[in-house]
Amino acid sequence: MAKIKKERNNDVNIPTSSMSDIAFLLLLFFMVSTVFVQEKKFWVERERWPIADSIERIPRNHTTTIYVMRDETILIDDIPTRIESSEDVFVYNTLVSKKTEDPEVVVCFRTDRETKYGVMSDVMRQLQDANALVVAFESQKRQ
Amino acid sequence: MKIGRKRKGKAEIPTSSMSDIAFLLIIFFMATTKFDVKEGIKIVLPQAAQESSEKVETITLTEKEMTRMQILPDGTIVINKESPREIGNPELDALIKQKLDINDQMIFKVITDREAKYSETIRVVDRLKAANAEKISLSTN
């Protein structure tokens, strides 16, 4: 007697019910781990930076930014200061505390390209005194 | 008298497209996120001279060991003892290459006038970095 084959109706399904949970977990992870930039204002616009070719990428996690504006105003953590005499040591004091917090701190300059070099020299002297020796001059990549 | 029929249909919120929405959101965030990596010319400054240090060595360097590049307020550059002149990027590149051919450990001392533009110093340092000059010193007068 011949066997009669039974048709199987079982569908093969990949369970997708937990897919949304996984996706939302990923979404939550990205939302929680995102760190927003703390600077309140971009004091020197990117268009005002000098142009250069040999640019290195500097990871943000060990950096602190010093803005130097054309009128020789210096901004650290959005606090403006000037170096007019040897008694103006705000840059030195701030960098000493930053260096204590993070010994690998990299000081990034966002300086207007028209700024006179004298003020940069004064700031760098205070950095040397504070032993914050690694600096980066932020620049636009030449197109 | 009307007899009410019991409805058997369950009230459900359709969740089948939830994952599509979530993935769309993820893709949106991934596509629009811009990582703020800083880009610039990195330099390590020398340590400040300590007043208390007893041993201060004075070394005399010859032109074979050190090239002096002085940037004046008008943007002209004095190379060693030459007269000041405007030097464009191609000429500067050739000059640096020529100096590095003489000595690949050449020290480049960039002296910028206090009144000179910061961008001029960056231009010279950039050309030095592009030519793989390792020993760059920054100072002012």
pLDDT band at A110 (very low <50, low <70, confident <90, very high): very high
Return d(Cα A69, Cα A44) in angstroms, integer.
7
Supply the pLDDT for residue A108.
Answer: 93
Contacts of B113 in chain A (CB under 8 A): 117
Contacts of A124 in chain B (CB under 8 A): 45, 138
Return d(Cα B17, Cα A137) in angstroms, integer.
49
% pLDDT > 90, chain B: 45
- On whether residue B26 sits in a domain, the answer given is no
Residue A121 has pLDDT above 80, yes or no: yes
Supply the pLDDT for residue A3.
Answer: 64
Supply the pLDDT for residue A24.
Answer: 83
- On whether residue B54 sits in a domain, the answer given is no
ipTM: 0.73
Q: Which CATH number characterizes residue B125's domain?
A: 3.30.420.270
Mutate to test the interface with B, among A27, A54, A117 (most CBs of B within 10 A): A117
pLDDT band at A74 (very low <50, low <70, confident <90, very high): very high
What would the pLDDT profile of B79-100 be if each residue is shown by its tens digit?
Answer: 988 888 899 999 999 999 999 9
Average pLDDT over residues B104-120: 93
CB distance A131–B47 less than 8 Å?
yes
SS3 at position A90: helix
- On whether residue B106 sits in a domain, the answer given is yes
- On whether residue B11 sits in a domain, the answer given is no
Q: Which two tokens stand for residue B81?
A: 């003892």
- On whether residue B101 sits in a domain, the answer given is yes
Are B123 and A117 within 8 A, CB to CB?
A: no
Supply the pLDDT for residue A40.
Answer: 65
- On whether residue B7 sits in a domain, the answer given is no
Supply the pLDDT for residue B53.
Answer: 57
Residue A38 has pLDDT above 70, yes or no: no
Mutate to test the interface with B, among A111, A124, A137, A143 (most CBs of B within 10 A): A137
Q: Residue B40 burial (CB < 10 Å; 0-12/13-18/19+)?
A: buried
pLDDT band at A88 (very low <50, low <70, confident <90, very high): confident
Question: N- to C-terminal Cα distance for chain A?
Answer: 83
Return d(Cα A54, Cα B56) in angstroms, integer.
34
CB distance B118–A128 less than 8 Å?
no
Residue A2 has pLDDT above 70, yes or no: no
Count of CA atoms in the C-beta half-sphere (13 A) of B65:
4
Taking all residues of chain A, what is their mean pLDDT, rounded to a whole number? Answer: 85
SS3 at position A57: strand
Smallest CA–CA distance, residue B116 to chain A, in Å, is 5
Q: Is B70 left (phi over 0), alpha (psi -120 to 50) or beta?
A: beta
User: 């990117």: which residue's tokens?
Assistant: A46
What would the pLDDT profile of B22-37 be if each residue is shown by its tens digit?
Answer: 888 888 877 777 666 7
Supply the pLDDT for residue A8.
Answer: 65
CB atoms inside a 10 Å sphere around CB A51: 15
Residue B101 is part of which domain span?
A: 66-140
% pLDDT > 90, chain A: 41
SS3 at position A8: coil
Number of domains in chain B: 1
Q: Which residues of B touch A (CB under 8 A)?
A: 15-16, 18-19, 21-23, 25-26, 29-30, 33, 36-48, 71, 112-123, 125-126, 129-130, 138-140
Q: Quick one: CATH architecture of A46-141?
A: 2-Layer Sandwich (3.30)
